[in-house]
Structure 1
């Protein structure tokens, strides 16, 4: 792609991929001079589409409007990042005032491009001390280079679901806490039929399975993707090789990549009763907090539990950590009602009662200190596991980047090849990966 320094936007094809570069924001300018006590109608775009989730959003808006009778909110649900980006580039009266996104990967673009406004001035005006409200990890994934252009609107934490019946059958007393225990238990839990095909895998480690994205599993090692100068350092960090080696060992302990990959193709859709864990084709499974609600509503035919994912043996003291991500909310750069919009964003993200009620309604992890410790929060032990993961100081989110999730995609593609044995020289492959990530980042800056 051409590296133009002129203030122009990329082609429709690139825009369709959700990529926004600095300087591409629509020239129309919003206003932070509005009076939030005056009558106004705001437009709030979000991505929730499940009827129960949409109802939870609508109930939240009803509570907000009761507190702010002068502010009316029109919501549009099931909106993708691409649709939001197109609307913000186009501007005009139909563009949203308050926006949300299900991915933290694009925060670096939202902040650096100016598409989402800096929220620090609004927090300062209204006395919100963000470091006292939000855990540091959540603030990290909603900001970029010191610009807080988003705030967390509930979070997702990833942990381990395990089949207690299968554990009892295999003589395993508790879920694994270290990677050596993980490999041992996965092998014990694996069952084969008379002909050699799988009846059940102990744990399906293949990166293409459902939520098994390599960046999520890699969080158990506590990696640092970039150095202080912003250069990729996956090749220099020994944890990268340890992670890929462990994943290979997990596969070998259960029959190898080819056999497991063939078995993976027999699994049903992730959200269906035929999914691997629900159908008992996997005894352990990595997933987010929402899976527990699905298992209950689907009336799973086995006893199950939750726990943090195992950690490397030499980092046993970090057990309890996990991968964090979540929904983010912000104010559109071209909103002419930014102070009123801030009142909505503040209510949705800061108000403890609202955050807890919304978290309980859609079974997501709350995203403020107060909500995480609220006695009104769902006390279900399987859900509390993920609350503890979110509160663990070692838990990790992906660092924001100016080109969004492009470096994550590059890492995923590399990991797919590595697990399939298509990277003969891992050191060279990782160095080439770092070079690719750095080149992509430089292109985005230029």
Structure 2
């Protein structure tokens, strides 16, 4: 599962990655000279920490080592990107050779700084046509300016998880498909209690866990940057429309302050006390992991899943959603890049390995072949997210030289809009564009 603090974590990494750029050699796969057939031990660092996730990684590595008996993999889990970057800067035998990261928003920085090696030469050497292996959207968030410094390792698709029992009690027979229906259903499902709530149909504020501006904006199919590379938020009406629609929903459900007071009573996102589990929230913007987590928490109601609603004027595109996921790369400073490539290639392109890992941790597979594999375990709930991942109009946030900073700038503006602190959204977006362009120019 992803970590909600990805953007915040990405912001703290920017300085570290910038420093790292001066220490990295920028070595690409075409200059790797090690013999992958010789006995070697690789250091593989990743961020998973839950027992089931650790077990799934260990099983995947065991399968790899069986197929490559000369390569041993020393696995270190629960590693933050901050710790990974510190180790990469320090270098030496204990530094990671291969890294799996949740921070897709930092791909632009990883590539631009040459912290990770360009995998294009290794893909070509192995005869792998990446366009035929990975979905187009996943390739978009794993490369920057032609530098494929990471590859997708599983996929996260975002949709709507809802309480079917609450729907039935409110006389709602199917999930909403358009934003106007979404607003109507959210109001029907909201039950007030004095100056607070017994239940909200949806927690629409941007701090409501996965209900981020980027997740919602994806339903409007926005264009973050123009053909000239400049920030495009003021010119593309999608952003103003999304911000206005979300603010309208906040107001109709009781207003920002009332909703935020209620949100502060919520349990941890990754615990059994999640507000969807406890019935405080009837609809949740979330990923493919939520239904299984809710079942493990023993919820007393039936769970449904659906794509997020789309704007009324884009009803024909219903089924799309926001995509992101885990990335995998090879440290540019590693002296074992060819051997490291064997591990990366196995974990990211081997259909059996990808499917087994996806089944184990309830994520969406990241290759086209794995998405269609008969061995993929598909439940009625997970099928929704698999379909979102396949939808041709599902989108993501593009990689940039400043990593996720441009998203933070947009997100901060969205916070101000939902509070009612912005009188002129188009004018505000124009200022956001200026800030984003300035930050990217500095990063370059």
Band of TM-score, shorter chain: over 0.9
17 and 80 in structure 1: CA distance in 2 versus 1, 3 angstrom threshold: farther
Distance in 2 separating the partners of 1:23 and 1:196 = 52
Q: Does 1:278 align with 2:277?
A: yes
- Cα deviation for residue 377 of structure 1 reads 0.7
Match of 1:6 in 2: none
**Alignment of 1:180 onto 2:180:** yes
Q: Is the 8 A contact 2:13 2:81 kept in 1?
A: no
Aligned to 2:438: 439
Does 1:378 pair with 2:377? yes
Task: Map 1:329-344 to 2 at 5 A.
Answer: 329-344=328-343
SS state at 2:105 partner: coil
**1:207 has 2:199 as partner:** no
Cα shift at 1:196 = 4.7
| 1:170 Cα deviation from its structure 2 partner | 1.1
CA distance in 1, matches of 2:253, 2:93: 57
Measured after TM superposition, the shift of residue 276 of structure 1 is 1.5
Alpha-carbon offset, residue 261 of structure 1: 1.6
Contact 1:29 1:333 in 2 (8 A): yes
CA distance in 2, matches of 1:283, 1:300: 12
Deviation at 1:258, TM superposition (A): 2.0
**What are structure 1's unaligned runs of at least 5 residues?**
1-12
- Structure 2: how far apart are the matches of 1:434 and 1:106? 19
Structure 1 counterpart SS, 2:93: coil
Q: In structure 2, the residue corresponding to 1:88 is in which secondary structure?
A: helix
Paired with 1:82 and 1:229, the residues of 2 have a C-alpha distance of: 32
Is the CA contact 2:200–2:280 (under 8 Å) kept in the aligned structure 1?
A: yes
Partner of 1:441, secondary structure, is: helix
Which residue number in structure 1 is paired with residue 3 of structure 2?
Answer: none
Distance 1:63 1:210 in 2: 35
Count of paired positions: 432
Aligned twin of 1:114:
114
Residues in 1 aligned to 2:437 and 2:239: alpha-carbon distance in whole angstroms: 17
Please give the alpha-carbon distance, in whole angstroms, between the structure 1 residues aligned to 2:357 and 2:50: 14
CA change 1:129–1:81 in 2 (3 A) is same
Normalising by structure 1, we get a TM-score of 0.94
Contact 1:17 1:82 in 2 (8 A): no
Superposed counterparts of 1:249-398, under 5 Å = 249-398=248-397
| 1:25 aligned onto 2:23 | yes
Question: Structure 1 or 2: larger helix share?
Answer: 2
List per-residue Cα deviations over 1:95-131 (Å, max 9, x = no partner): 1111111021011111111111111111111111111
Q: For residue 329 of structure 1, report the CA deviation from its aligned partner.
A: 0.3
- Check 1:196–1:27 CA distance in 2 against 1; reply closer, same or farther (3 A cut): closer
* Cα distance between partner residues in 2 of 1:28 and 1:177: 47
Query: 1:438 deviation in Å?
Result: 0.6
Name the CA distance, whole Å, in 1 between partners of 2:134 and 2:73.
25
- Partners of 1:250 and 1:319 lie apart in 2 by 19
Alpha carbons 2:17, 2:110 under 8 Å: kept: no
- Decide whether the 8 Å contact of 1:19 with 1:404 is kept in 2: no
Q: Deviations over 1:372-394 (max 9, x none)?
A: 01111112110111111111111
**Distance in 1 (alpha carbons) for counterparts of 2:21 and 2:309:** 43
Q: Following the alignment from structure 2 to structure 1, what is the Cα–Cα distance between the partners of residues 303 and 329?
A: 37
In structure 1, how many angstroms separate the alpha carbons of the residues matched to 2:15 and 2:52? Answer: 29
Question: Unmatched 5+ residue regions in structure 2?
Answer: 1-10
Q: In 2, distance between residues paired with 1:436 and 1:120? A: 32
CA displacement at 1:67 relative to structure 2: 0.3
| Aligned partner of residue 364 in structure 1, secondary structure | coil
Q: For 1:51 and 1:128, locate their aligned partners in 2 and report how far apart those are by CA, in whole Å.
A: 33
Aligned partners of 2:32 and 2:337 also within 8 Å: yes
**Could you say which residue in structure 1 is the equivalent of 2:84?**
84
Aligned equivalent of 1:5:
none
1:401 matched to which residue of 2?
Answer: 400
Task: With the length of structure 2 as denominator, give the TM-score of the two structures.
Answer: 0.94
The CA deviation at 1:423 is 1.1
Alpha-carbon displacement from aligned partner over 1:332-353 (angstroms, at most 9, x marks no partner): 1011111111010000000000
Give SS of 2:277's match: coil
Counterparts in 2 of 1:28-107, with a 5 A limit?
32-107=32-107
Contact 1:18–1:81 (8 Å) recurs in 2: no
* Helix, strand or coil at the partner of 1:66: helix
- Contact 1:190–1:254 (CA under 8 A) maintained in structure 2: yes
Distance 1:273 1:88 in 2: 36
What does the per-residue CA deviation read over 1:313-348, in whole Å, with 9 as the maximum and x for residues that have no partner? 111111111111100001110111111110100000
CA contact (8 A) 1:21 1:109 kept: no
Distance 1:258 1:353, change over 3 A: same
SS at match of 1:187: helix
Say if 1:247 and 1:65 are closer, same or farther in 2 by CA, change over 3 A. same
What is the rounded CA distance, in whole Å, between the counterparts of 2:410 and 2:155 in structure 1? Answer: 23
* Root mean square deviation of aligned Cα: 1.6
Partner Cα distance (1:338, 1:134) in 2: 22
- 1:235 maps to 234
CA separation in 1, counterparts of 2:120 and 2:139? 12
Q: Distance in 2 between matches of 1:280 and 1:14?
A: 34
